[in-house]
Amino acid sequence: MASIGAPVCVVRRYKPEDTAAAQDIMAKTVMETVSDYFWSAIFTEVLPQVALLTIAFSYIGLGVPFYFCLLGIPTAIVIIYAVIWLAHMSKALEVGQEMTNIPRLFLEHPDRCFWVAEVLECSEASELDSFMNKMKKVEYHFMSEEESSAREAELRGTRRHVVGLLGLTKSMRGGMKGWLRHLAVKKAYRRRGIAQRLLDEAIHFSTEHCLDEIELVATECHHKAS
């Protein structure tokens, strides 16, 4: 049994008051992968292609002397970063808007759901920073919402804040398939089993609702999100 001072994490269904925290987590998670996408583009054929187009346009289209056209290489790097950043910002705004529609998108249908991971810490404790996360292994005592309610007196005085989230909806491929969406955990709380607990909750829900399989769409740049 967890003592009052022990770190506790409650995985529960979304509530309307979680909207602001969900928007903050998703916005930071989306923008966090800008550098990963940028370096991925730099070390693939994207950079040579953009640089070649920039140089060709400057030399042929604008008549710029060739040695000045070589500045097209650093210009291409700036263009790539700007495009990636703008694309991520657009996605962050889109996802932020989606977070305001969680009840309609995830909770109005019996085979859809949305969960949040809520950490309960001592009231005097501040949010754990990334440095401490790397230096110290924190083991959480995971609870269901029912268990946390039953032990409300014991947990009174703790500081509650949402640090992770996960949605489950119908797969776009149809059939009895689920689609995991918006799996994200705050940077300072990763590698502590929170994402796994959210996934376990989704798997249990899928089993109860007779889904044949669940899918998660991700890229090599999204490994940090959970």
* pLDDT tens profile 27-83: 999 999 999 999 988 998 888 888 888 888 887 888 878 777 788 888 999 999 999
Domain limits of the chain?
A: 8-18+102-225, 34-99
Are the C-beta atoms of 110 and 209 separated by less than 8 Å?
A: yes
Q: What is the CATH number of domain 8-18+102-225?
A: 3.40.630
H runs (alpha helix) in 33-114: 34-42, 46-56, 66-69, 72-99, 102
pLDDT for res 188:
86
pLDDT score, position 60: 84
3-state SS class at 87:
helix
Q: What pLDDT does 5 receive?
A: 54
What's the whole-model pTM score? 0.79
Exposure string over 125-152, b if 16+ CB within 10 A, otherwise e: eeebeeeebeeeeeebebbeeeebeeee
Residues of the chain with pLDDT under 70: 1-6, 122-137, 153-155, 157, 220-226
